[in-house]
Structure 1
């Protein structure tokens, strides 16, 4: 429609607001905007709630005198003559917003968020006995010993064993999520719309949310929550049918940036959405994005000056004492002015990841990588159980990062709470054992490992048992070969511990100490057997340490980006899950980064990124793309986002003869 405002369409017909065609506009108390003729019929039949967010309306569209007042509308009694005039409150003045900007009105939200749209099971899944069909198999559990053989008369106090679990893939259906069989998702996005998000930031956020909406399927549900001074549930949990997607897009388009930053209220609203819903999809998750610091809720711990960031997290997102699982919160720090410490604590408390979006232009890619995983959850409530085989074997300790682990007092058994896994996602845990002398035995059974979990799509409980971990005990061992799997994980774990130590040093102002810690660890990584053997994971780790060293080298660089980069690195290693961290192609890191930057294109079959798209994002080949923790579906969704942005840029300046990757089903992209 010529002359229409397409950026803020009518939430019912999704048409533009005609600025010059004489169409009447109604702006509801919940800040959603409609054509008068679209909403008047609904009001005439007594429907006094917003069709988008379900808020109860107290004020109705203006009815012209020549039009009869609908009988269904309650008539207000006249004011008694004896009522003092000064008690009468004048009605609020409602003006048509200028240039699509909504007035700063507080929505009339329902007291209980039990108005979620009913879930719809995906086609092809009847909920009965679908475990194998839904996930394409069971989890794989294997173990690797530090050495394959130890002499009979030798004992070890810290013999390393790697427990490696891998989630099944997804079969059938179109797209990376295997739509015919995958578990449906309830997603709540909690979006910062404070004043600092105005302009290009808000436009990029809306674009990223458009991509998220486009890639959800009819059996998924989405609720959008915005926060500034307070928080507002912009949409209830809507199924992402064509109609639901249209309403969600309209809601996102209506967002306006103003006010302060109240992260806690945004999360409380998200918790209310999830806690009070009548229906539940098998998978639930929250995405939180903020570019600032909470200036409403933050308190201090005791007499010190350390903020109590955990006060930002509603109790329902915390793991309970009985070990119940809750919806994870994946946090995104947007730009260089966000509170990285707060976002990291929120993610850790709610079993999510913290991502640092330094280059604001790639927000869509960051969201894409995240939902590429969320749309492929195949394993829930996974728990690894370990028991010793030989009577003399004891479990000394476990390196499990942020995953809760426990060892019994006698050292004879242990467990690791793994939780939720995406399709093809892997976890590695290092165990250290006390191994006794063999006493003439030819072999020693070290441990027995099993993993129990809930199949997210099929609904069945599954238990997988690995082969017994057996150590050969010959009389003599000469030049025993070390396991590359165990060595690689040991190097990564030690590096992650030094990253945390360097960040702690930088936090207290000891930047030179932080640099020395990282330099020493980088040298150790480069000299490890894995790195000398050309292991790409070790090469990526060396590049990460080099980049982090530069960012932690001075107070200015640390405050600008070092803290966020280090905390995102800690989250990355502790969760063993891909997150988003931008890496500038600085000369000091060029060698490692060039090796890494080719990986995502070679994996996905893409040739090169257009110069326009590369210039727009600034860091076209971020090192996190090549994370060993990124699943095929995450890489495929990231590629889909990049191709979408590239196509958008190409509409203005097409590039002739460019070879591109397939934009078809995700299975094809990831082959």
Structure 2
């Protein structure tokens, strides 16, 4: 009989699962464990459903009765010699039938339809009208602004590539409300899809469980969580549960029961997650998926028509794919764990669904990566945002839009355009560069270039909101002696051009031209450092230069590129294309005095690198800080406990951390 995890209590009696006392342990197909005597009555009465996840059990434990000892055949013609006694077969011991075979793992019997999700529950006193009123009180979008490349264009000049920046910023959450726990926010339906293949055994799985514990702790009572695990197959470990005290207990018990074994079937894990979201009876306002894997899918992918490149989109269920304008499916935020994961696959999954791809090179910071992600998901304030742009002058034409992965459209006549933005976290910003053809002015002192508006749905209250920016105008003097240049436009132009060169360098590396990739990145790094924004002390440009320098180092040879360069570059592409913070390896551990063997030091280095990227919102930074403090406290507690053991001290050590930063409008206790 397999020895269960001693820290995992029986889900029925909540007693320990230790083998002391001779208690028989039953491990179900869904990986949950129970005392045999606790479930025997239920089984006897035909209750064949797991009390934790409601999975239907196909096989049940039974006591094999003792078999009579077989009598060996006797051959009278040739009796056995007297010096060779007969060997009687002993009856088999009474045992419970083993439930699991290691290769391959069994497929659990799931309900036919995942419509057993726990009903959503609105916060007390936060009905729709109050949520809408609270949303209105904090204002509409904090900013819908435009910036022209130059403040003036000569009257007889007709530039055909004049840059205008459209800047959108989501409203924040008022600190006073947050401190009182009264800030309305949209509750979250979160599905975590976790790799539990054989390569995740040991410390990796322990760190994953710790990270999931942090996520569970920081979800609110109106958020819901479903845990899906996958190896050679996939199973829903918990149904979509509200994160009340009881729900958190069930979720933690389920996470602790995870065991690493088998292969890596990412597609099956995502299909199970899609089933959870597609078939739920109730829906919270925000839905998202977190996918973590340390390996490569070896079950699903086909090859492209050329026969060389895997067709990674095979991994994405159709219900997650964004197929056109107005399609707001749940995003999948992917996390590549270690240096053996398939970064290209994880990037395609995130890109196809509107999520971000994070590269977790240092295993110790997996909790920080999850923390930063949920810090944003728990503060979604804007949904289905769309920017509409129209020409403000008969002669002005919109030539093109630099919108990254956000779908943009320019009408054939160039008179109007749109950008589908989707969800925004509190205080999150988006910047888009437009390039216009501007006609010569006919006696005008100024030209109205474009008119910009933004429509969206308030996530907390559900009300539609429309915001219109001031008309974008440019002065038209007879001559321009010294026109003022916009640093906002310059900064975004530098970032967009760097993003394009990162993609070009990656393409070169993929075909084996590593020196060419290095040269592309080196030239772009030099251009960034010489830009007016960088020379003016802009921290975003400085961080971009450091990012390019690190990419050069990781793409210098085939070995470096395969080991970490591909994942690092794809994480950078994802961050810039979405204009959303993700987790990337620290650019220089020595810069903050950290070593790779130090959890606290690694955490600070990772945080420093990500904060420099400037896409992280205040709530994301606050949640990341909370994670780092919790991990440092845990490491300190373990060190003190170890020191106490070495000195013979058995007294408990209590560590109290002040956690009065705002995270998601709730007070949370450290683990």
**Partner residue of 2:616?**
630
Q: Which residue of 1 aligns with 2:645?
A: none
Aligned equivalent of 2:442, options 439, 458, 473: 439
Confirm or deny: 8 A CA contact 1:160 1:486 kept in the other structure.
Answer: yes
Tell me the secondary structure at the aligned position of residue 128 of structure 1. helix
Q: Deviations over 1:424-453 (max 9, x none)?
A: 000000001111112111111111100001
Structure 2 counterpart of 1:138: 140
The alpha-carbon deviation at position 473 of structure 1 amounts to 1.6
Report the 3-state secondary structure (helix = DSSP H, G, I; strand = E; otherwise coil) of the residue aligned with 1:415: strand
Shift of 1:476: 2.5
- What are the residue-to-residue correspondences of 1:34-113 with 2, within 5 Å? 34-40=34-40, 42=42, 47-59=47-59, 94-95=97-98, 104-113=105-114
Question: Cα gap change, 1:20/1:574 in structure 2, threshold over 3 Å: closer, same or farther?
Answer: same
Cα 1:529–1:209 change in 2 (3 A) is same
Q: Secondary structure in 2 aligned to 1:387?
A: strand
Check the 8 A contact 1:372/1:635 in 2, yes or no.
yes
Partner of 1:578: 581
Find the aligned partners of 2:665 and 2:629 in 1 and give their Cα distance. Answer: 12
- Shift, 1:585, TM fit: 1.9
Equivalent position of 2:332 in the other structure: 329
Quick one: distance in 1 between partners of 2:601 and 2:467? 48
Q: Distance in 2 between matches of 1:358 and 1:378?
A: 31
| Aligned counterpart in structure 2 of residue 383 of structure 1, from 382, 386, 397 | 386
Matched position secondary structure for 1:530? helix
Deviation, 1:29, is 2.9
> Deviation string for 1:32-58 (max 9, x for gaps)?
112345445655776432121101234
Would you say 1:19 and 2:19 are equivalent positions?
yes
1:470/1:516 Cα in 2 relative to 1: closer, same or farther (>3 Å)? Answer: same
Equivalence for 2:151? 148
1:29 counterpart residue number = 29
Distance change >3 Å, CA 322–CA 167, structure 1 → 2: closer
- Cα separation, 2, equivalents of 1:131 and 1:444: 38
Asked if 1 retains the 8 angstrom alpha-carbon contact of 2:146 and 2:165, the reply is: yes
Instruction: Give 1:527-538 correspondences, 5 Å limit.
Output: 527-538=530-541
1:40-88 alpha-carbon deviations (Å, 9 max, x no partner): 56557764321211012345566999xxxxxxxxxxxxxxxxxxxxxxx
Q: Which residue of 1 aligns with 2:521?
A: 518
Give how far 1:161 is off: 0.5
* 1:79 alignment counterpart: none
Q: How many residues align?
A: 621
Give 2:659's match in structure 1, choosing from 648, 658, 663. 663
Q: Work out the CA distance in 1 between the residues paired with 2:225 and 2:176.
A: 21
* CA deviation after TM superposition for structure 1 residue 630, in Å: 0.2
| Preserved contact between residue 551 and residue 562 of structure 1 (Cα < 8 Å) | yes
| Structure 1 residue 24: Cα displacement | 3.7
Shift of 1:302: 1.4
Q: Secondary structure at the match of 1:310?
A: helix
Distance 1:505 1:454 in 2: 42
Distance 1:654 1:484, change over 3 A: farther
The answer on 1:644 being equivalent to 2:630 is yes
User: In the TM superposition, what is the alpha-carbon distance from 1:208 to its structure 2 partner?
Assistant: 0.5
Seen in structure 2, the aligned counterparts of structure 1 residues 349 and 505 have a Cα distance that, compared at 3 Å, is: same
Where does structure 2 lack aligned partners over 5 or more consecutive residues?
Answer: 66-93, 642-654, 667-671
Number of the residue aligned with 1:480: 483
Equivalent-residue separation in structure 1 for 2:163 and 2:324 (angstroms): 30
Question: How far apart, in 1, do the equivalents of 2:273 and 2:428 lie?
Answer: 27
Give the match for residue 353 of structure 2. Answer: 350
- Matched residue, 2:316: 313
* Structure (1 or 2) with the larger CA radius of gyration: 2
Q: Deviations over 1:517-537 (max 9, x none)?
A: 001000000000000000000
Provide the secondary structure at the position in 2 that maps to 1:163: strand
Following the alignment from structure 2 to structure 1, what is the Cα–Cα distance between the partners of residues 179 and 347? 28
Q: 1:179 to 1:567 in 2, by over 3 A?
A: farther
Task: Kindly provide the CA deviation profile for residues 263-286 of structure 1, in whole angstroms up to 9, marking residues without a partner as x.
Answer: 111101110110011111110000
Aligned partners of 2:550 and 2:458: how far apart in 1? 39
SS at match of 1:138: coil
Normalised TM-score (structure 1): 0.87
C-alpha distance in structure 2 between counterparts of 1:507 and 1:96, whole Å: 45
Q: Which runs of 5+ in 1 are unaligned?
A: 66-90, 599-607
Question: Which residue among 268, 271, 295 is the counterpart of 1:268?
Answer: 271
Report the alpha carbon displacement of residue 614 of structure 1 after superposing the two structures with TM.
2.8
Cα deviation for residue 170 of structure 1 reads: 2.3
| 8 Å Cα contact 1:132/1:138 also seen in 2 | no
1:244-266, Cα deviation, whole Å (9 max, x unpaired): 11111111111111111111111
CA distance in 1, matches of 2:64, 2:23: 14
Measured in 1, the distance between the counterparts of 2:238 and 2:608 equals 33
Q: Would the alpha carbon gap of residues 236 and 410 (structure 1) be closer, same or farther in structure 2, given more than 3 Å must change?
A: same
Residue 214 in structure 1 maps to residue 200 in structure 2: no
State the secondary structure of the residue aligned to 2:622: helix
Counterpart position of 2:570: 567
Indicate conservation of the 8 Å contact 2:607/2:624, yes or no: no
| Partner in structure 2 of residue 603 of structure 1 | none
Query: Could you say if the C-alpha distance between residues 429 and 321 of structure 1 is closer, same or farther in structure 2, counting changes exceeding 3 Å?
Result: closer
Contact 1:31 1:102 in 2 (8 A): no
Q: 1:197 to 1:176 in 2, by over 3 A?
A: farther
Match of 2:374 in 1: 371
Matching residue of 2:306 = 303
* CA distance in 2 between partners of 1:624 and 1:661 (Å): 24
Q: Give the equivalent residue in structure 1 for 2:472.
A: 469
Cα deviation 1:105-138 (Å, max 9, x = unaligned): 4322111111111111123321236335147221
* SS of 1:156 mapped into structure 2: coil
Q: Secondary structure at the match of 2:160?
A: strand
1:138-188: CA deviation from partner (whole Å, max 9, x where unpaired)? 112011111111222222111110000001112479869966511010100
- The match for 2:119 is 118
Q: Is the 8 A contact 1:382 1:418 kept in 2?
A: yes
Shift in alpha-carbon separation, 1:357–1:178, aligned structure 2, 3 A: farther
For 1:422, which of 421, 425, 429 is the aligned residue?
A: 425
Q: Secondary structure at the match of 2:129?
A: coil
SS at 1:384's partner residue? strand
